[in-house]
Amino acid sequence: MSDRPAPARRPGELSFEGRRRLFLAGAAVLGGLMLWGLGGLPDFDSFTPLYGQVINHVGVQETSATAAVSAVNFDYRGFDTLGEEFILFAAVLVLALLLRRLGEEHTTPLRKDPRRAHTTSAAVRLTCYMLVGPTVLLAIYITGHGHLTPGGGFQGGVIAATALLLVYLGSDYPTMQRLRPLSLVETAKAGGALGFVLIGLGGLIASGSYLQNFLPLGEPGELVAAGTIPLLSIAVGIEVSGGFVLLLSEFLDQLLVIKRKRDTAA
Amino acid sequence: MSFLPYVVAVWVCMVGLYGIVTSRHLIHTIVCLSVVQSSTYVLLLAIGYREGGAAPVFIDIPRNTPAVDPVVQALTLTDVVVGGAVTALLLAIAVQLEKHLNTLDPDELDPLRD
C-alpha cells in the first residue's frame, strides 16, 4: 500500500511527510490534553458510579432480569435502545439506497457461480454446512436468554445473520439467495422495529408511561420472566438479523450481480 | 497503575488517528476510524470497573455480590452498534467512490474534480 509512489502534489499541498509531522505535533497536544482531562477522573478501580450500583442492587428485584445489562438496555434505558435500534434501521436503509443499481449499471443474470465452485474445498463446504444449524441455535439462545445471561437481541441478531454468510461461504450466491427471500427479510427488519415500538405503546396504554414493563415479572432466573424485556430483546433480534442479512446481501450484490456496462462490454 | 487504562484509551485513539492521517487507502481509513472508536469502549469499560467486581449477571451469584457497572456496559453496546452502522455506511460510500473515480487513494480525491 505504502510503496506506491505518492500522487503528484497540487500547488500548496502538504507533502506526506509534512502532514505526518503536523499530525504528530497536534496529536502530542491533543493526547496531552486528553490525558490531563482523564487524570481528573477517579482512580481506575475505585470509581463506583452510583447509578450502576443502584441498578445492581435493585435491578433483579425490580425487573426479574438477572442480566443487569439487559435490564438497563430494555427497561431502565429502553427509550435509548429504541433510538439505537432506529439508528441501525436508518443506516441499513441508507446503505440500501447507496448501493442501489445506478443508471449506468445493469444486473447480470447469476449463473451457477463459477468463481466459488472452484475455490471452495469440500472440507470448507462440509464445515460450513455443519456450522449453520448450531449457529442459528446459538442465535436463538443468545436472543431468548438475554434477560438471564449475557446476550440479547443485538448480539443474537448478528449471529443469526452470520449463519447465512456461512451458507454463502459453503455454497454459492444463488443458494444463499434462495434462503433469504428479500421481501421476507425486509418485513422481518421492519416488523422487529415496529414490534419494539408497539411493546412500548403497550406500556403506555397499560401503565401510563412509554416502555413501562407492564407484563407479569415472574421469578428471576426463569426463562419466561422479566415481563417485556425478553419480548423487546426478541424484537430487536429479528430487526438486527434482518438488517444485517440485508446489509450483507447489498455488499454481495455489488460484488457479484451489479456490473458496470463498460465492464461487461469489454 | 490505576491510571493505565486511561492511557491505553488515549493511545488507541491516537494510533487510530495516526492511521487516518497517513492512510493511502480508504478501506484502511475506515478501519482506522473503527480503531479510534474502540478507544471509547476501553474508556467506558474502565470507568465501570471496580476492584474484584463480578460481571453484572446475578443468575448464579448472590444478588448482593459487588459487580462492575452495568450502565457503561449498556452504553458500550450502543457504541458498538453505532460503530457497526457507521462502518457499513462508510464502506458503501467507498464502494460507490471506487466506481466513479476508479481509485480509493484519498490523496487522489480532488474536491474540485467534476
Which residues on A lie below 8 Å from B49 (Cβ)?
44-45, 47
Per-domain boundaries in chain B: 4-108
**CA gap B103, B24 in Å, rounded:** 11
Q: What's the pLDDT at A9?
A: 63
Written as one string, the DSSP assignment of A228-243 is HHHHHHHHHHHHHHHH
- Shortest CB distance from B14 goes to which of A31, A80, A81? A31
Give the 3-state secondary structure of residue A259: strand
Mean pLDDT by 10 residues, chain A (266 residues): 56 79 91 88 74 80 81 86 89 88 72 59 86 92 87 88 87 78 85 88 82 78 80 90 89 79 54
Q: Which tens digits make up the pLDDT trace of A236-246? A: 999 999 999 98
**A156 grid coordinates:** 443474537
Q: What was the pLDDT predicted at A116? A: 55
Beta bridge partners of B54: B67
Tell me: pLDDT of B12 over 90: yes
Q: What is the predicted pLDDT for the residue at A251? A: 87
CATH fold for domain B4-108 = Helix Hairpins (1.10.287)
Q: What DSSP line would sit under chain B, residue for residue?
A: -TTHHHHHHHHHHHHHHHHHHT-SSHHHHHHHHHHHHHHHHHHHHHHH--TTPBPSB-SSS-TTS-B--HHHHHHHHHHHHHHHHHHHHHHHHHHHHHHHHS---GGG--TT--
Cα separation, B23 vs A16, in Å, equals 10
Give me the half-sphere count of Cα atoms (radius 13 Å) on the Cβ side of residue A258.
18
Instruction: Please report, as a single letter, which amino acid is at residue A101.
Output: R
pLDDT of residue A117: 55
Cell of B77: 453496546
Task: Indicate the average pLDDT of chain B.
Answer: 86
B31: pLDDT confidence band, cut at 50, 70 and 90? Answer: very high
- The set of cell numbers assigned to B107 is 490523496
Instruction: Report chain A's C-alpha Rg in angstroms.
Output: 24
Task: Nearest by CB to A73, from B68, B77, B105: name it.
Answer: B77
DSSP string, B35-51: HHHHHHHHHHHHHH--T
User: Among all residues of chain A, which has the CA nearest to that of B23?
Assistant: A2
Q: What is the ipTM of this complex?
A: 0.82
Reference A47, options B101, B56, B3; nearest CA is: B3
Q: Quick one: which H or E segment has residue A106? A: strand A105-107
Residue-wise pLDDT tens digits, B82-105: 998 999 999 999 988 888 887 888
| Residue A95 with chain B: CB contacts under 8 Å | 88-89, 92
> Looking at the complex, does the CB of residue B72 fall below 8 Å from at least one CB of chain A?
yes
B102 close to A (CB below 8 A): no
Question: Each residue of A1-11: pLDDT tens digit?
Answer: 445 555 566 66
pLDDT of residue A2: 47
Of B22, B51, B70, the CB nearest to A68: B70
Q: Which residues of B touch A252 (CB under 8 A)?
A: none
Report which secondary-structure segment, H or E, holds A65.
none
- Whether B13 contacts chain A with CB within 8 A: yes
Res. B32: pLDDT tops 70: yes
CB B22 within 8 A of CB B35: no
Q: Distance (Å, rounded) from C-alpha B22 to C-alpha A120?
A: 36
pTM: 0.82
| Chain A residue at shortest CA distance from B78 | A84
CB–CB contact A77 B74 (8 Å) = yes
Chain B partners within 8 Å of A94 (Cβ): 89, 92
Provide the shortest C-alpha distance from residue A201 to chain B (in Å). Answer: 22
Q: What per-residue confidence (pLDDT) applies to A112?
A: 57
CA dihedral A239, A241, A243, A248 (to 10 degrees): 180
Owner of C-alpha cell 453496546: B77
Q: What is the pLDDT of residue A8?
A: 61
Question: Which positions 205-244 of A are in contact with B (Cβ < 8 Å)?
Answer: 220-221
